[in-house]
Structure 1
Amino acid sequence: MVVFILTACPAGLRGHLTRWLMEVSAGVFVGHVSNRVREHLWSQVVDLVKDGKVIMVYPEDNEQGLAFRTHRHEWTPVDLDGITLMSRPMDTQATRGRVRRGWSTASRRRRHS
C-alpha cells in the first residue's frame, strides 16, 4: 500500500493521482500499486507539484515495514538506529523564552505554590 499526502498542490496533480489511487481525504491518496508504478508516480508528483509539498509512505523491508519520502516539506525522515522517525521543525514561538509548563489544573497549582 502506498500513501501520498499533498499540501498546496495543483488540482491537475490531484486529478492525475486519482487514476491510480483513491483520495480518502483532501490531499490524501491511498492505494496498492507495484514498485515500478510507485516510482513513476513519485517522479510525476515531483515534476507537477510546483510550490506544494508531498510526503509519500510506502512499504519497505525493514523493522517498521515502511519508509518515507518527502519533497519540499518541513518534516523530514531521520534514521535513528534503524528506526525512521519524522523530524518536524521546532516551533519558533515556543523557543523565544515563552515555554508553557503545563495546561492542567494540577500543573497550575504546582507553579503557584
Structure 2
Amino acid sequence: MSGATTVVVLIAAPPGLRGHLTRWFTEAAPGVFVGSPNARIRDGLWKIMADRIRDGQAVMIEPARTEQGWTVRTAGQDRWTPTDFDGLTLMSRPRAAVDSHGRPRNK
C-alpha cells in the first residue's frame, strides 16, 4: 500500500506537532495534512501525535485492505470514535456535555 494517500487532521494541536508533520506531509488547509508516507513512517508519526496531542484532537485516515480502502485512527480529547458497522467504518460522535434536560453532565 506504499504510495497511497494519507490524511491527518489536527484540532487545537501544539504548534511543534504541526511543524513535525510538515516534514512528511503538505498542509493543504489549516490543520489538514496530506501525504504518502510508508507504513513505518505513519506508525512512528502516529505514536508522536498520540503522545503530544494533549487537549487537542488528531485523526489519521490511512490506506488499508478493507472494503472502503482506508482505516482511521483517533487520539485526544472529546474525539469521534471509529466504529465497525457490518464491515464499514463509521464515526461515532462523543457524548453530549449536557443531559436530556440541558444540564451539564458530571465528568
TM-score, with normalisation over the residues of structure 2? 0.81
Alignment of 1:30-49 (within 5 A): 30-49=34-53
Please name the residue that 1:5 is paired with: 9
Alignment of 1:65-76 (within 5 A): 65-72=69-76, 73-76=78-81
Please name the residue that 1:83 is paired with: 88
Matched pairs, number: 97
CA distance in 1, matches of 2:44, 2:15: 19
The structure whose residues are more often helix, as a share, is 1
Segments ≥4 residues shifted beyond 6 Å: none
Aligned-pair Cα RMSD in Å = 1.8
Q: CA deviation at 1:50?
A: 2.0
Q: What are structure 2's unaligned runs of at least 5 residues?
A: 103-107
CA distance in 1, matches of 2:47, 2:96: 31
TM-score, with normalisation over the residues of structure 1? 0.77
Q: What are structure 1's unaligned runs of at least 5 residues?
A: 98-113
